[in-house]
């Protein structure tokens, strides 16, 4: 039998093969291999080291593999009968598993005898299984991935038969455990290379659900690889089989949930210090949580990181991004101010652009945002043309917001002119950037340059293929401002056909107003009734946690619908209906200037 851990050493460095206390030089064996005499080389090993057929073949194939002769190694490995080797190894394992039934009065020498035999059988298992594993590696190098995966599977199946109760911790020699760990980690990668993603999924779950006695680092690598596979493979795996589920345990419903669960487990291991910090784990977790809009969970993970794991400015920036995505702009901006301090990283482009974006959403912070955007533009060099374009866009947005709170007409006109100049400069760098095109259309519309606004609105709808709600709304509003109500109505109807039901609220409100402008109050009332049903259904279905990705600044609430209906009924002198609508609106907002105005007319 061969001790592959301590007695057998790497062939390139020692140039000897040792087993059972005997060593032979590799030169004689290599000479026979070079002559193509595999059987003679095998016989030399069997006689010189007291090995059986499978062990000699495994050691001979390993020698060829490490010499770089992959095809020659494969020819040698093909002679290994793994099933025969397993049958010889199983009795000792069964005997060992039943040894606990032997009474404590048994002789010490008997126990030592069993321990010696078990150690010898482990050495044999180590050598034979390593040979089959190296055969899989040889097939991988020859791009025969399916065959390689099958041989790797044979290794794990053999381990399952040799250790039916699982691999006993601390009772398996190092070389055998190393081979098992390498095979468990390699198998899913081979199935992926073979294009069999369903088998790869099964291999990942087998690796993590069965007892292989893997060390923390190996288990973490498999968990991370599985999480990445779940996120990017495009294969919907579904939950684990019922046999693998534990009563009372959380069972993920889809790929995204399972990937997040795995990444959260890895983050906990990092917090506990059982594995080293891996920045890619946080990157994948950020991506996964952003897909399901769970950035508050991400911010909690960032806050739990021990000091020194991440540089403080990187942590501040990542936290700011998480808070911003969760709508906590004030907290995000405070962190960015710390990050952009002159003693930290004042020229960080990403932080500057995020700070400018947050400021561009608040008129009272717009002046501060102008400074951030200008610094970003100054620090964006030639290779950062895209980031410079983003900086110019942010500058235009901040100047536009600043103009709205300007104290003088002259200052307002100047800021609006500078905002348009910045947006024009941005579009010159990125001519097909849909966001900049939309902002230009919006700015021209606010300045009553309706011809230019209409041109950019049409261009935006064409560029986005009509898939974004705000483009349709801008186009309809510009046409309405030009008194082209019938055309605006056609655009609104087309937008409704292209928009999902839950996102139709703003379009329905616009349609009702267009119908009112065209002196069609009954049509407008019917549209408002449909809008009311939609808003109430949304409230019941989603509650206060409703997420709307396309309409952030113009959501329709139930109060607005009741108030709009009250105005319509008032124009028709339907006073009882007006009373009902005002009562419903007052239940939602007791003190409202709009309601008081309507009641005054009434």
Percent of the chain that is helix, strand, coil (3-state, to 5): 75, 0, 25
pLDDT at 8: 44
Worst-scoring range by mean pLDDT, 129-133, 162-166, 200-204, 400-404?
162-166
Q: Do residues 219 and 185 make contact, with C-beta atoms less than 8 angstroms apart?
A: no
Task: Record the tokens describing residue 478, joined without a space.
Answer: 């510009």
- Each residue of 545-573: pLDDT tens digit? 443 333 344 567 788 888 888 888 888 88
- Each residue of 236-276: pLDDT tens digit? 766 666 555 555 566 778 889 999 999 999 999 998 889 99
CA atoms of 224 and 437, how far apart (whole Å): 40
- Each residue of 3-39: pLDDT tens digit? 444 444 443 434 666 665 566 666 666 666 666 666 6
Question: Would you tell me the crossing angle of helices 145-162 and 108-141 to the nearest 10 degrees?
Answer: 170
Q: Could you tell me how many residues make up the chain?
A: 602
- The domain limits of the chain are 1-95+117-211, 347-418
Task: Record the tokens describing residue 243, joined without a space.
Answer: 């046999």
> Does the structure show a pLDDT above 90 at 187?
yes
> Does the structure show a pLDDT above 50 at 98?
no
Alpha helices in 7-107, H assignment, sequence order: 11-14, 26-34, 38-49, 53-66, 70-77, 82-97
- Burial code of 574-598, b = ≥16 C-beta within 10 A, e = fewer? beebbeebbebbbeeeeeeeebeeb
Q: Do residues 301 and 279 make contact, with C-beta atoms less than 8 angstroms apart?
A: no
- CA-based R_g, the chain, Å: 36
- Each residue of 447-464: pLDDT tens digit? 899 999 999 999 999 999
pLDDT at 240: 64
Distances (CA, A) of 303 to 300, 306, 457, 485, 574: 5, 8, 43, 53, 58
CA atoms of 26 and 33, how far apart (whole Å): 10
> Does the structure show a pLDDT above 50 at 103?
no
Q: What is the mean pLDDT of residues 58-81?
A: 83
CA atoms of 144 and 582, how far apart (whole Å): 75
> Does the structure show a pLDDT above 50 at 99?
no
Q: What is the mean pLDDT of residues 34-47?
A: 66
> Does the structure show a pLDDT above 70 at 128?
yes
Highest mean pLDDT (candidates 184-188, 303-307, 377-381): 184-188
- Which band of pLDDT confidence, cut at 50, 70 and 90, is reported for residue 410? very high
- Sign of torsion over alpha carbons 351, 357, 363, 367: positive
- Sign of torsion over alpha carbons 314, 319, 325, 329: negative
- Each residue of 359-396: pLDDT tens digit? 999 999 999 999 999 999 998 876 578 889 999 999 99
Q: Do residues 290 and 325 make contact, with C-beta atoms less than 8 angstroms apart?
A: yes
- Third-level CATH fold of 1-95+117-211: 1.25.40
Worst-scoring range by mean pLDDT, 315-319, 536-540, 542-546?
542-546
Largest alpha-carbon pair distance within the chain?
112
- Each residue of 279-290: pLDDT tens digit? 999 999 999 998
The separation between CA 66 and the C-alpha centre of its own chain, rounded to angstroms, equals 38
Task: Record the tokens describing residue 399, joined without a space.
Answer: 């100047």
> Does the structure show a pLDDT above 90 at 534?
no
CA nearest 583: which of 600, 562, 602? 562
> Does the structure show a pLDDT above 50 at 468?
yes
pLDDT at 266: 95
Average pLDDT of the residues of the chain:
82
pLDDT at 575: 86
């Amino acid at each position: 039998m061969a001790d592959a851990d301590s007695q057998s050493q790497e062939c390139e460095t020692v140039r000897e093969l040792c087993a059972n206390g005997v060593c032979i030089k590799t030169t004689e064996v290599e000479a026979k291999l070079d002559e193509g005499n595999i059987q003679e080389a095998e016989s030399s090993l069997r006689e010189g080291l007291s090995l059986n057929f499978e062990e000699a073949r495994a050691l001979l194939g390993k020698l060829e593999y490490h010499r770089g002769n992959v095809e020659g190694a494969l020819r040698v490995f093909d002679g290994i009968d793994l099933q025969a080797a397993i049958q010889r190894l199983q009795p000792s394992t069964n005997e060992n598993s039943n040894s606990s039934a032997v009474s404590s009065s048994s002789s010490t020498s008997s126990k030592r005898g069993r321990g010696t035999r078990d150690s010898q059988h482990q050495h044999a298992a180590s050598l034979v299984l390593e040979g089959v594993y190296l055969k899989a590696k040889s097939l991988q190098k020859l791009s025969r991935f399916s065959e390689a995966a099958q041989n790797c599977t044979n290794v794990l199946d053999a381990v399952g038969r040799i250790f039916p109760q699982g691999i006993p911790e601390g009772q398996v020699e190092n070389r055998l455990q190393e081979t098992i760990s390498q095979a468990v980690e390699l198998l899913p990668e081979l199935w992926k290379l073979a294009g069999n993603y369903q088998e790869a999924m099964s291999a990942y779950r087998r690796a993590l659900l069965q007892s292989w006695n893997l060390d923390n680092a190996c288990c973490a690598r498999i968990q991370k690889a599985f999480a990445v596979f779940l996120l990017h493979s495009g294969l919907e795996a579904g939950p684990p089989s019922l046999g693998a589920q534990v009563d009372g345990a959380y069972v993920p419903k889809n790929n995204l949930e399972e990937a997040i669960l795995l990444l959260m487990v890895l983050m906990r291991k990092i917090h506990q210090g059982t594995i080293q910090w891996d920045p890619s784990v946080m990157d994948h977790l950020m991506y996964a949580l952003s897909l399901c809009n769970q950035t508050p969970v991400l911010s909690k993970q960032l806050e739990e990181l021990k000091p020194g794991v991440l540089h403080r400015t990187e942590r501040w920036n990542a936290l700011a991004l998480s808070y911003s995505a969760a709508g906590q702009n004030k907290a995000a901006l405070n962190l960015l101010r710390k990050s952009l301090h002159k003693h930290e990283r004042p020229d960080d482009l990403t932080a500057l652009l995020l700070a400018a974006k947050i400021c561009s959403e608040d008129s009272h912070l717009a002046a501060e945002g102008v400074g951030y955007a200008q610094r970003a533009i100054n620090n964006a060099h030639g290779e950062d043309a895209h980031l410079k374009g983003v900086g110019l866009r942010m500058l235009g947005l901040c100047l536009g917001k600043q103009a709205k709170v300007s104290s003088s007409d002259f200052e307002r006109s100047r800021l609006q002119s500078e905002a348009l100049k910045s947006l024009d400069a941005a579009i010159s760098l990125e001519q097909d950037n849909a966001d900049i095109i939309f902002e230009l259309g919006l700015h021209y519309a606010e300045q009553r340059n309706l011809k230019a606004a209409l041109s950019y609105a049409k261009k935006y709808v064409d560029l986005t293929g009509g898939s974004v709600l705000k483009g349709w709304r801008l186009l309809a509003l510009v046409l309405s401002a030009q008194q082209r109500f019938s055309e605006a109505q056609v655009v609104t109807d087309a937008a409704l056909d292209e928009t999902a039901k839950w996102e139709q609220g703003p379009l329905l409100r616009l349609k009702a107003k267009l119908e009112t402008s065209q002196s069609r109050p009954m049509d407008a009332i019917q549209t408002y009734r449909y809008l009311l049903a939609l808003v109430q259904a949304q409230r019941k279905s989603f509650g206060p946690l409703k997420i709307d990705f396309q309409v952030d600044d113009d959501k329709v609430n139930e109060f607005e619908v009741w108030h709009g209906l009250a105005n319509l009924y008032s124009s028709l002198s339907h006073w009882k209906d007006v009373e009902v609508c005002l009562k419903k609106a007052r239940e939602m907002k007791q003190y409202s200037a709009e309601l008081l105005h309507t009641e005054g007319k009434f």
